[in-house]
Amino acid sequence: MPKEALKLVLSFESEDQGFQPSEHNLSAEQAIDLVRHIASEGRTAKVIDQTSRHKTLDLTRCRPCKKSAEEATYGGTQPSGDEQKQKHQEGEPESE
Ligand SMILES: [Zn+2]
């Protein structure tokens, strides 16, 4: 029997907080149930595959959970363009 993959569920809290760990060490079925529950509250959830069982029971102290939440929040989708410099357009005719 292959080792059962454990799942970590993140939920999107707010723009400030981003994704926060909701529950970990879940079976695939439990993860799906939780995602449905979170979605029914109008929130976004994300399922992450755990590489191993998390030993910390307290979610707020669980480092792998925190790391996954940060990656889900900031990973690869950092907003760009807020520091966009205004391009000076050449050849634009000046009008009065
Ligand atoms: Zn965890």
9 by Cβ neighbours in 10 Å (0-12 / 13-18 / 19+) ranks as: buried
Domain count, the chain: 1
| Ligand 1 centroid distance, CA of 68 (Å) | 9
- The answer to whether position 92 is within a domain reads no
- The answer to whether position 94 is within a domain reads no
Q: Dihedral of CA 35/40/41/43: which sign?
A: positive
| Ligand 1 centroid distance, CA of 93 (Å) | 60
Is the overall model pTM greater than 0.85, yes or no? Answer: no
Q: Where does the pLDDT of residue 5 fall: very low under 50, low under 70, confident under 90, or very high at 90 and above? A: confident
- The answer to whether position 43 is within a domain reads yes
| Ligand 1 centroid distance, CA of 44 (Å) | 19
Is residue 94's pLDDT more than 90? no
- The answer to whether position 68 is within a domain reads yes
- The answer to whether position 96 is within a domain reads no
Q: Which domain covers residue 21, as residue numbers?
A: 7-74
| Ligand 1 centroid distance, CA of 8 (Å) | 7
